[in-house]
Amino acid sequence: MTHARRTVDFSGSVTPHIPDYLEYCQGPASDIYFQRAADTLAGAGLDPVVTMEYFGDRDGLLCGMADVLDLLRRSLAGAAAPAEVWALADGSPIAAREVVLRVRAPYSGFGRLETAVLGTLASCSGWATAAREVVEAAGGKRVISFGARHVHPLVGPIMEQAAIAGGCVGCATPLGAERAGLAAPSGTMPHAMILVFGDTVRAALAFDAHMPDDVLRIVLVDTFKDEPEESLRVAEAMGERLRGVRLDTPWERGRVTVELVKEVRARLDLAGHRHVGIFVSGGMDAERVRQFVAAGAPVDSFGVGMAIAAAPPIGFTSDIKEVDGEPRTKRGRIPGVTPAPRLDRVL
């Protein structure tokens, strides 16, 4: 599977109103002044070869470059003169103001993509950077992205791909998993299903009966009863088929705590269910994950949503540095190509 190509194939049911993603990024989703600049330059008969550089405003983890390069390849395919592109790869750690992308091409070939390029790098790098912080806080325990519900559905899978780039091992949506190259999305059952059944054990047994074997048997245990009690009920009913229990206690009941996790683990172990893992979710962020790890809470996996999905973007900027080979840029910047030895020639 080619991830970059999938990122621009928005002609299916995901975004049926965007028949051509390149056209969308160059036109209706682009700052209008780029179109007006293009019209003005065309009217004046100007289309110089420019060198443009792109950089972020803070340290982080680069993400979104594969999407950007796909757009540039398609846009520059019909350029009036040969194009050259240098870039850092997705997943690269970056420093503030480090050049991550350089394009040398006729301005008409890529000028209208500036909004899309900056926005893609900004959002995806922000998500990936936040995910990396959570993953590092987890100290080797698995982290799964559950943040799709916190963003618009058109960008949820893109956010999840960025979370995987940041080190998460799973995500919730099928398209997010596909974009990230995962075999399948992660997730078992919502509270809604358990509420419809009216009993956690009934819901768990029905789930076990109707789901294929490759779907993990992880059961929510905070819907109707005390979490340790519900964990034991489910473990007794499902036996060895139960892979784990998920604690997602809401803030109205104090959320999941280190002490609660330790109690669930102890009661499962005393009853002979040492094989049952404990999955924790609900308001988790890097600081809370650190607290759980530091306290030795026996958590097997963390589910993290808002802390990744609502991460601030890294502010990316682009500057023309040369025009037809002449060093030229705006005040406050240094004219000419910036030394960037980590860049690789990609086009």
Query: Does the pLDDT value for residue 14 go beyond 70?
Result: no
Return the H-helix or E-strand segment holding 280.
strand 277-280
What DSSP state is assigned to residue 273? -
**Measured CA distances, 231 to 187, 202, 204, 301 (Å):** 18, 13, 11, 16
Average pLDDT score over residue span 130-150: 97
Query: Does the pLDDT value for residue 5 go beyond 90?
Result: no
Per-residue pLDDT tens over the stretch 288-337: 999 999 999 999 999 999 999 999 999 999 999 999 999 999 999 999 99
Query: Does the pLDDT value for residue 10 go beyond 80?
Result: no
- Sorted by where each begins, the domain ranges of the chain are 3-125+313-345, 127-309
Query: Does the pLDDT value for residue 2 go beyond 50?
Result: no
**Residue 54 identity (one-letter amino acid):** Y
Instruction: Say if residues 47 and 110 touch (Cβ distance below 8 Å).
Output: no
How would you list the strands of the sheet with 301-304, edge to edge?
170-171, 142-145, 301-304, 277-280, 244-247, 218-220
Per CATH, 3-125+313-345 and 127-309 having the same topology is answered no
Per-residue pLDDT tens over the stretch 269-290: 999 999 999 999 999 999 999 9
Average pLDDT score over residue span 16-20: 56
Which tokens is 126 given?
């922000």
Instruction: Say if residues 67 and 122 touch (Cβ distance below 8 Å).
Output: no
**In the chain, % of residues over pLDDT 90:** 92
Per-residue pLDDT tens over the stretch 176-224: 999 999 999 999 999 999 999 999 999 999 999 999 999 999 999 999 9
Average pLDDT score over residue span 58-65: 97
**Fold of the domain spanning 3-125+313-345:** nicotinate phosphoribosyltransferase (3.20.140)
Instruction: Spell out the residues 6+ positions from residue 278 whose beta carbon is closer than 8 angstroms to its own.
Output: 244, 245, 247, 261, 264, 265, 298, 299, 300
Return the H-helix or E-strand segment holding 227.
helix 227-238
CA 332 to chain centre: 33
Average pLDDT score over residue span 69-83: 89
As a whole number of angstroms, the distance between CA 278 and CA 133 comes to: 22
CATH dotted code for 127-309: 3.20.20.70
Report yes or no on whether pTM surpasses 0.95.
Answer: no
Backbone phi and psi for residue 83, each to the nearest 5 degrees, phi listed first: -110, 150
- The pLDDT of residue 19 is 60
